Each structure stands twice: as C-alpha cells, then as structure tokens.
Chain A
Amino acid sequence: MEYKKIFIRRSLFALGISSLALVSPVLAASSGLTISQNLSLGAQNPAVITLQQILNSNPATEVAQNGPGSPGNETNYFGLKTQAAVMAFQSLHASQVLFPAGLSSPSGFVGPLTRSALNNSAGVIISSGNTQIQPTSTPVSSDPLASYRVTPAEQINIYGSDQNIHSIQQDISNTINSALASHTAPNINFQKYKSLLTSVVISSATHTGQAGSTITIGGRGFLSTNNIYIGPNFIIRNVAADISGTLSFTLPPLPVGMYDLVVSNQNGVSNSTLLVVQGQNPISVSITSVSPTPLHFGSAVTLTGSGFATSGNKVVTTFGTIDNASSTDGKTLTFTFAPDQLKGIAAAGKGTKLTPMGIQVINNNGYTVQPTQVQLGL
C-alpha cells in the first residue's frame, strides 16, 4: 500500500513536471516578447513597455540612461525619447528597416519592418510571470559608440555661443522694429554686445559625411587641444589643430541625422554648424520651384523639389531660418515666412519693394547645393 502511495505521488510529480514542460513552451510561445502592433509617438499601451525593453537591451538604442524609460524603468508611453531610440534602432538596421521601404532616414514609426527587426533582435525568458529579456544584439562591451559618448563630466551647454548670438539678433531686431513703429531713427550700440562674443569660431566645415569619412573644421581660436562635440551626446576628444589651424577627425558610426558640431577648448565654446550624417544611399535634396512669387512677409510658402524629409527640414533663407518644416510626400515643403527682423519693415511697407532672397533646405538627407533665388516684396 505504501509503495502504491509512493508510486502515485511520484507519478503525479512526474506528470506535473512533464505537464510543466509541455506548458512552458506553449506559455513562452503565446506570451513571447514580441511587438504585434504598429506604434508611434503618443501611443500609450503595454506594447510600448515591450518596445522600450527591447530598445534598452542595446546601449546604442537606449531610451534613457536614468529615470522613466531607462533599463528597468520602462513605461507604457511612447514619447520623444522613445521615438529617438526607435530612430537610432532604425539607423542601425537600415538595410532591414529603411531601404526596403525606400527610406534613407529614420521615421520613428514602428511599422511592420521595424517590428520584425525589433522582434528578431531580442530573445525571451519567461519566469514566474515576469518577463526577462535575453538580448541577442550587441552586448555592452562592443558598443561601437562607447568611446564617443559624452560622460557626465564632459557635459557642457554646446549652444551657449549660439544663444548669445541669438540674443544679439533679438535685441537689434526689437530696436529696429520699435523705431520703425514710432517713426524714429534706430539707435544701435554694438559695443554692448562685445561681452557676448566668442573667440572660438567655426568658419567652415565639412557638412555631410558617412561613417568613416573625414570631417574638417576651419575657424579661429583653435588650440593644440580641442574637443569636438557632435550634438550634446557625442564627443571627439583632444583634437589638435594642424599647421594650417584646421581640425580633422574621422566620423564615427553615428545614426543618420543632423548634428550640431561645436568646438570647445580653454578659450571657450564656438558657434555651432550643422553636420548631416548620411546613410549608404543618400538622397539628394533640391528645390525646383517656389510659390508664391514674389513672396511677402507672412506668406504660406511651398517649395517643390526632391529629398525633403517628413519632418525636421531646416529652411535657411537670407533673412532667417525656419526650423522643422514638414513634407508629406518628399517633393513639396510648406512653411510660413515671417522672420522677426522684417516685421517692422513689412508693417511700414506696401509690399511693392522687391528684394532678392535666397532659400536652401537642410535635412537628414543633406543640403541643397546652392541657394534658390526668389523675390521678396516688402
């Protein structure tokens, strides 16, 4: 009788183990950490937690280093940091995600191609109802960008010099607009801006490049030791100026996109200049026509051409820059032309004085080769 009990217990035990063994794979398969729906900026649901966990398995695509979204602190909200991490992932997997869709720059949208790449980049272990990720992507020690990441001790405000220049622009613009409104002569004193000037100036730079290409920066105030910031998060350390005073470095494998280049040394921080890191098959950016003609202050302007990005297009005109213009089809770009420094002049004028103006577009694909000339009526 006793043997029967033992046998029954052991049998039941064995049955339980075998049952568990049968169930676990089923559980693993049905509860696999996969993303099965499209996700985009603003989404709020549990699938975003999964997305962030997969992105955080690779330091090159981390959502955040600390706080919400960081490893172990994933959230169900698809915000700007998650979008940036998705774009980094898409750049790293461009051949699987972007090129098959005919794209050369990341969109931040998690569609079928991105989902497939994400799901293939992470394995899953399920244990006690908690989801663990077993990363199959690049481990931390072989992050190709590890040596280029800005450390906490190296963090600076790379836009300090730009902000000073913008304050000069705003002050002069306000002075002129106020004077014109009151029919008086503008009183402009340049001496008071002297303390806002930087002695480290970038005057020229390579503006587009791919990983491995040489980037050259010319300017003034460079020393024997300079740090070059590529955006606020990446740095090239201890670059020496050559005999002609030029700085050069090899572009690391950064995600495709626009970055602000800044030089920092003991003399200070320079103005920024844009560097476009391009993918393997960059699309050229061009403007073929502008409407309306002539333009007027406040005009809704449409550029027709090619290579325009969905968002983030920077439109540079003679009289100022419009940031983040959008294009729905890559061939037309719309924005409103209303720079502050022309407000007073436009209000005083009748729109009949025509003055030439240049327009260029810069985005993740690159630059238009030369400015397109149009007429502006003031």
Chain B
Amino acid sequence: MKIKYFFALLVASLFFFGIKSAHAQDLGLPYGGLDDFIVPCTCTIGFVNWEVFAPLYISSDIPEAGALNVPITPTAFADYYLTSGMYALGDEEPIGAGCFIGVEPYCFPLPAEGLVTPFTGTSPAGFF
C-alpha cells in the first residue's frame, strides 16, 4: 500500500510542478519503441497503464522487449495519448516500481523499466 501511495505522489508531482526544461537530460532517459500491449494498473491509485514495448530502445540501438509505466494523461506531442499500435518516442524516468494489477486484497506488481514522462510523442496507430 505504501508503495502505491508513494508512486501516486511521485506521478502527481511530475505533473503539478511541471516540466521546467525541455532538455532531455533533465527529464530522464530517451526511449523509443512500438507500443504493443497495454494493461491498466487497477490497484494503483490514479490512472496508470503498464505498457509493453517490443521492440524497445532505451538509450541504445539494441532492441529489447520491456515495459514502461505510462500515466494516462495527454502527452506533449501528437497524437497525445499512447495506444497499442503506436510508435512512441520520448523520455522516461528509470523508476521501475509502481504498477499493481488485480483487486484488493489480491494486488500484484508488474515489472517495468521506467515511468514515461509527458515529454513523449506518438505516431498515428496503424498497426494491429
């Protein structure tokens, strides 16, 4: 429970205090990838999705498969909301914990490499 509240507070702070700089180094690690699969984090306070990217590129040209936590708020750039089938490009904070699925008392964490910041843009969905 404490982890969920901490995560919710972190997410809220990212949006309440705003982005002071557009510089990538201030916002986290650059990432890019094909958004394949989305699951809502039903046990996490607030609106967060757990999203699988395959391939996923984080500060590297080597493709991997992995997941990122994505707050459900408009992104800074078109097409403004991540949807499965879109290619996303932006910054992510390397905070892995935070997504819990299920229903109380059976809430379980899903593994993620980071938290997507609003500094993200997407392609129009055209896949799947």
Which residues of A are in contact with B by a Cβ distance under 8 Å? 162, 165-166, 168-169, 172-173, 176, 179-180, 183-186, 188, 190, 193-194, 196-199, 201-205, 207, 219-220, 271-275, 316-321, 341-342, 345, 348-350, 353, 355-356, 358, 360, 362, 367, 370-371, 373, 376, 378
In whole angstroms, how far apart are the Cα atoms of A166 and B54 in the complex? 10
Cβ of B72 under 8 Å from chain A: yes
A20→B89 CA distance, assembly (Å): 77
CB of B85 within 8 A of chain A? Answer: yes
Q: Is the CB of A345 within 8 A of B102?
A: yes
Q: Are A349 and B103 in contact (CB under 8 A)?
A: yes
Q: List 21 A-B contacts (CB under 8 A).
A: A162-B128, A168-B52, A168-B54, A176-B110, A183-B102, A183-B106, A185-B108, A190-B66, A194-B63, A194-B64, A203-B89, A220-B61, A316-B83, A319-B38, A321-B84, A341-B37, A358-B81, A367-B124, A371-B81, A373-B81, A378-B40
A-binding residues in B (CB < 8 A): 32, 34, 36-40, 42, 47, 49, 52, 54-55, 57, 61, 63-67, 72, 79-85, 87, 89, 101-103, 106, 108-111, 123-128
Check B101–A345 contact: CB distance below 8 A.
yes
**Bound Cα distance A186, B52 (Å):** 14
- Are B65 and A168 interface neighbours, CB within 8 A? yes
Chain B at the A interface: SS class: strand
Q: How far is the CB of A265 from chain B (nearest CB, A)?
A: 16
| A168 partner residues in chain B, CB cutoff 8 A | 36-37, 52, 54, 65
CB distance from A295 to the nearest CB of B (A): 13
Contacts of A204 in B (CB 8 A): 87, 123
| Contact indicator B108/A193 (Cβ below 8 Å) | no
- Whole-angstrom distance from the CB of A261 to the nearest CB of chain B? 8
Bound complex: CA A350 to CA B125 (Å) = 30
Complex contact B103–A350 (CB within 8 A)? yes
The answer to whether B49 and A318 have CB atoms under 8 Å apart is yes
Complex contacts, B127 vs chain A, CB 8 Å: 162, 271-274
* Bound form: Cα–Cα A271–B67 in Å: 18
Query: CB < 8 Å: which of A185, A199, A275, A355 contacts B63?
Result: A199
Q: Which residue of B lies closest to A323 (CB)?
A: B128
**Residue in contact with A198 in the complex, picked from B55, B67, B79, CB distance below 8 Å:** B55
Contact of A318 among B38, B61, B108 (CB under 8 A): B38
The smallest C-beta distance from A199 to any residue of chain B, in angstroms, reads: 6
* Smallest CB separation, A193 vs chain B (Å): 4
Question: Which residue of A is nearest B105, CB measured?
Answer: A183
**Residue in B47, B57, B64 whose beta carbon sits within 8 Å of that of A190 in the complex:** B64
What B residues does A179 contact at CB under 8 A?
Answer: 108
Inter-chain CA distance A197–B64, complex, in Å, is 7
Task: Give the 4 A-B residue pairs with the shortest CB-CB distance, closest first.
Answer: A203-B87, A273-B126, A274-B126, A193-B65
Q: Is the CB of A318 within 8 A of B81?
A: yes
User: A203-B87, A341-B38 in contact; A185/B109 too (CB < 8 A)?
Assistant: yes
Known: A197-B65, A348-B102. A203 touches B32 (CB 8 A): yes
Q: How far is the CB of A299 from chain B (nearest CB, A)?
A: 16
Choose among A199, A349, A355, A370 the residue that contacts B80 (Cβ–Cβ < 8 A).
Answer: A370
Given contacts A168-B65, A356-B47, A370-B80, contact A316 B125 (CB under 8 A): yes
- Known: A179-B108, A180-B101; 9 extra A-B contacts, CB below 8 A, are A184-B108, A185-B108, A186-B108, A197-B63, A203-B32, A316-B84, A317-B83, A341-B37, A371-B79
Instruction: Give chain B residues whose Cβ lies under 8 Å from the Cβ of A165.
Output: 34, 36, 54
Cα separation A190 to B66 with both chains bound (whole Å): 6
- In the complex, which residues of chain B have a beta carbon less than 8 angstroms from the beta carbon of A317? 83-84
B103 touches A201 (CB 8 A): no
Q: How far is the CB of A278 from chain B (nearest CB, A)?
A: 15
Residue of B nearest to A185 (CB): B108
> Contact: A355 with B84, CB < 8 Å?
no
Cα–Cα, bound, A186→B106 (Å): 12
User: Across the interface, which residues of B come within 8 angstroms of A271, CB to CB?
Assistant: 34, 127
Q: In the complex, what residues of A have CB within 8 A of residue B54's CB?
A: 165, 168, 193, 196-197
A203 to B106, CA, bound (A): 37
**Chain B minimum-CB-distance residue to A180:** B102
**B111 engages A188 (CB within 8 Å):** yes
Write the chain B residue with the least CB distance to A183: B106
